[in-house]
Structures are given as C-alpha cells and as structure tokens.
Amino acid sequence: MLYPLIEKTLQVDTMLFFFLNSKVGNCVFDFLFPILTNLDYWRIPLFLLAIFLLLFGKRRGKVAVFLLVLGITLSDQVCNSLLKPLVGRIRPCNVLEGVHLLVNCTKSFSFPSSHATNIFTGTMLLSFVYPKLKTVLLGLAVLVSYSRIYVGVHYPLDVVAGIILGVLCAMATLLIYKLLAKKIPGVFYVPKGSKSHDQVDSG
C-alpha cells in the first residue's frame, strides 16, 4: 500500500522536475539562476553584511547575526549530516537523461535541498528581527530555492522538504532565543509585537 504511493509520488516529482527544469527554460533564467544558486557569489556580500550589522546595527544587528549563525548551523547539520545520508536520494542530474544542467553535478545526496533549508532558515530569522524586509527576503528565498531545480541538481520534492525543514529549524532557533529573552530580560532583543516581547531596544 505504501510502496505504490511512494512510487507514484516520485513519478510526479520527476515529471514536475522536467517541467520546471526544461519546459520553462529561457535565456534570462539561464543567466540568472546559475548566479543565484552559486554560493561563491554570496560569501563576500554575506560576510560584509555580517560585519555591517555587528558594527552599525546596534543590538538588533548583533541579534540578527547571532540568530543566523545559530540557526543556519542547526539547519545545515540536520540537513547535510543527518537527513541526506539517511534518505540517500541521488541527484536528478546523476540518474536522469535530458536534464537541463547549468552547474556542476556533484555526487552528494539530493534530499532535502540544503540551499532551500538554509536560506529559509535565514529568511525566517531575519524576518523576525527585521519584519519590514520579510516580503523581499521571502521572494529571494523562493528564487534561490527554485534555482536548484532549474539548474538541474534537485527535484521539486527536495526543495519543498528543504523549505519545510528550514522553517522548522528557524522556529526551533527562535524558541530557544525567546526562552533566553525571558530568562535574561534587557539583554536579548525581541521585536515589538512578539509574544516574547519583554524589553525592546528600538535601535
């Protein structure tokens, strides 16, 4: 009973992969998504952002960096060290013919997508500290997550699972943080409107 359901799900997942990877292909996406999906293009901007937040972001900026380090460390370890080896799903570019492949196809496992996991963890955490940026951050997270399918290295189900995992890891990180905020009021920044709002630094 369960095996046919899993098999059908994987068949649909493969069909969606080919649609999102090949059928909607165009020159704009071919240029944009390999850039969005490449971590080498993100390292320096993210490093500079972290330095800026630590130096000029006041308490809110320091909290943002703290949450990102804690949350993405958690999400990356759960995704890459636990779930990927446990599931052991092979990347589509290694098993399917006719993949529109725009980046290097590694031998690492596919499920869930660590890109989707980590960027949604970061998006949730930054949106907690900077709620006005939520729409922009979410849009960027969706584009980066979809880029993993478009460049040919992840199935849609990998990305969906990564998004869910990222949200869960962010929630776990915020739960820990809010507990600390209650235990040590005045030290930890909690945005206005939060249920855990104790003492807020508006800076």
Enumerate the domain spans of the chain.
Answer: 19-183
Write down the pLDDT at residue 142: 97
Structure tokens at 43: 């390292």
CA distance 188 to 163: 27
The number of CA neighbours under 13 Å toward the Cβ of 164 is: 9
Model confidence at 191, pLDDT cuts 50, 70, 90, reads: low
**pLDDT single digits (tens) 102-130:** 999 999 999 999 999 999 999 999 999 99
CATH class of 19-183: mainly alpha
161-178 exposure pattern, b = at least 16 Cβ within 10 A, e = fewer:
bbbebbbbbbebbbeebb
Write down the pLDDT at residue 192: 56
| Predicted structure pTM score | 0.87
What Rg do the C-alpha atoms of the chain give, in angstroms?
19
